[in-house]
Amino acid sequence: MLGIIGGTGLAVLADLQVGRRQIVRTPYGETSGPITFGEIGGKSVAFLPRHGNGHTITPHKINYRANIWALHAQGVHDIVAIATVGGIAEHLGPGTIVIPNQLIDYTHSRKHTYFDGLGDGALQQVKHIDFTEPYDASLRALCLVAADLAGEKLFDGGVYAATQGPRLETAAEINRLDRDGATMVGMTGMPEASLARELEMRYAAICPVANHAAGRGDSLHAIKYEEMSQALNLTMERVHGIIEKLVSVYGN
Ligand code: HPA
């Protein structure tokens, strides 16, 4: 089954016919909330908003291990994550949508692996997952097909810098990320992607750009949060359209 993880600006899935909500117990503690199972256009989908139902969980406090484990335990083997970003590259201005193909992890102190002796069975063996390509190529391709069907232009490829947050970055930090090769910046992309890989799930991200990153474009002197939410609401309507098509082309 396909699972959608919602981010900032996407706390409910439009068009979802809700079947049931399930609280899942995990060896890693509580998830961000119950998983909603339902259908879009007759196709099953599971949905979990990572910041919780009232958007109360900050990026560094999200229990990524519990969220991914719970989805897996409920039969979700493919995850498309919606993760809002700031645009670093010039072509990624507010209102654009991008499907990253690479990432750089700048987060710290997050519980980021299942291979720490807590799990059972295969998770007790230490395994060094291959993470050369952090996003699944076939799932990314499906997202691009869905966007096409929805009539939305997506940028195919980009480097996601995952920062610790919850504060936004300084202009100098963004310059450094740029020199590192990052084209967008967000706070939730890791360890979500690597945990999914540890459980051998396919994972891809759709990243709506809410703002120019600090020191860039109209964020030259400050990021204006109000304007950021407005831009995001409009972009999220388009993301809903892409998700609807994604569910329809996904083979259950
Ligand atoms: N930085 C980090 N995370 C973000 C940003 C940003 O500028 N915009 C949306 N999420």
The CB of 189 under 6 Å from ligand 1? The reply is no
Q: What are the CA-CA distances from residue 174 to residues 10, 80, 179 (Å)?
A: 25, 26, 9
Say how far apart CA 64 and CA 113 lie, in whole Å: 9
Domain that holds residue 44: 2-249
Ligand 1 center to 95 CA (angstroms): 13
Ligand 1 center to 67 CA (angstroms): 21
pLDDT at 114: 94
Ligand 1 atom at minimum distance from 219 CA: 7
The CB of 193 under 6 Å from ligand 1? The reply is no
Say how far apart CA 220 and CA 224 lie, in whole Å: 10
- How many CB atoms are located within 10 Å of the residue 1 CB? 15
Confidence band of 9 (pLDDT split at 50, 70, 90): confident
The secondary structure of residue 249, as a DSSP letter, is H
Say how far apart CA 186 and CA 213 lie, in whole Å: 10
Mean pLDDT of the chain: 93
The CB of 184 under 6 Å from ligand 1? The reply is no
Domain containing 34 — which CATH number? 3.40.50.1580
Hey, what amino acid is at 243? I
At a CB cut-off of 8 Å and minimum separation 6, what does 227 contact?
Answer: 211, 218
pLDDT value at 163 more than 90: yes
DSSP string computed for 180-240: HT--EEESSSTTHHHHHHHTT-EEEEEEEEEEEPTTSGGGSS---HHHHHHHHHHHHHHHH
Burial of 217 (0-12, 13-18, 19+ CB in 10 A): middle
pLDDT at 15: 83
pLDDT at 185: 98
Q: How many domains does the chain have?
A: 1
Ligand 1 center to 214 CA (angstroms): 9
The CB of 213 under 6 Å from ligand 1? The reply is yes
Say how far apart CA 7 and CA 252 lie, in whole Å: 24
pLDDT value at 123 more than 80: no
Say how far apart CA 76 and CA 229 lie, in whole Å: 30
pLDDT value at 21 more than 90: yes
pLDDT at 68: 98
184 contacts 100 by C-beta, under 8 angstroms = yes
Ligand 1 center to 125 CA (angstroms): 36
The CB of 210 under 6 Å from ligand 1? The reply is yes
The CB of 162 under 6 Å from ligand 1? The reply is no
Ligand 1 center to 184 CA (angstroms): 8
Average of pLDDT values for 67-93? 97
For residues 20-57, b (16+ Cβ closer than 10 Å) or e, as one string? eeeebebebeebbbbbbbbebeebbbbbbbbbbeeeeb
Confidence band of 14 (pLDDT split at 50, 70, 90): confident
Residue identifier of the C-alpha nearest atom 3 of ligand 1: 186
- How many CB atoms are located within 10 Å of the residue 112 CB? 17
Query: Which tokens sit at 59?
Result: 């990026």
170 contacts 146 by C-beta, under 8 angstroms = no
Residue identifier of the C-alpha nearest atom 5 of ligand 1: 86
Confidence band of 125 (pLDDT split at 50, 70, 90): confident
Say how far apart CA 104 and CA 184 lie, in whole Å: 10
223 contacts 86 by C-beta, under 8 angstroms = yes
- pTM here is 0.95
pLDDT at 204: 98
Say how far apart CA 92 and CA 69 lie, in whole Å: 32
The CB of 84 under 6 Å from ligand 1? The reply is yes
Ligand 1 center to 88 CA (angstroms): 10
